[in-house]
Amino acid sequence: MKKSLALFISFLALSFPAFGQAGDQSQDKEAITKAALDYIEGWFEGSAERMDRALHPQLAKRMVVLNPQGGPEKFIHLTKDQMVEATGKGGGKAVAPDKRAIRVTILDIYRGIASVRVDSVAYIDYLHLAKSEGGWKIVNVLWANNVKDR
């Protein structure tokens, strides 16, 4: 079993060389930043097109909300379709552009995956991106409301 798994993994690495090579990291950084900005600026602009472009079809966006009175926690899970729809309905347009305080920080890139922190006046988002057929796409988001800046 171990031998067949090792052969399968070797086959995948040889079949998809782009996933096994580092490539041009400056181009990757630019594309990753663009995806992160399409996500957060798209939200604040109410641009469903930008949000759609940034997200992988299998997006999982999640937040855990603890109950301060000790009751059950709340788990929020959003899909790409839900994010694109909410963005198209206005998203965060109520926040003036000069108040958004957007900052994108690439935390790590390894081959075809990356971790990014996105800060804004309203949210702190940790993004996981993957290099896919359509370029760098956001696959996972774990977020919290940014209460310190409100």
Q: What does the pLDDT look like over 44-103, one tens digit per residue?
A: 999 999 999 999 999 999 999 988 888 888 999 999 999 999 999 999 999 999 999 999
One-letter amino acid for residue 105 of the chain:
T
Give the residue from 96, 93, 94, 149 showing the smallest Cα distance to 120.
149
Q: Quick one: average pLDDT of 23-27?
A: 79
DSSP secondary structure letter of residue 96: -
Q: How far apart are CA 150 and CA 148, in angstroms?
A: 6
Q: Judge contact between 113 and 134, C-beta under 8 A.
A: no
One-letter amino acid for residue 29 of the chain:
K
* Angle at alpha carbon of residue 124, lines to 119 and 128, rounded to 5°: 95
Structural domains in the chain plus CATH codes: 21-145 (3.10.450.50)
One-letter amino acid for residue 83 of the chain:
M
Q: How far apart are CA 51 and CA 16, in angstroms?
A: 28
**75 to 31, 40, 50: CA distances (angstroms):** 31, 21, 26
Q: Judge contact between 120 and 98, C-beta under 8 A.
A: no
- The per-residue pLDDT for range 108-149, each reduced to its tens digit, is 999 999 999 999 999 999 999 999 999 999 999 999 999 864
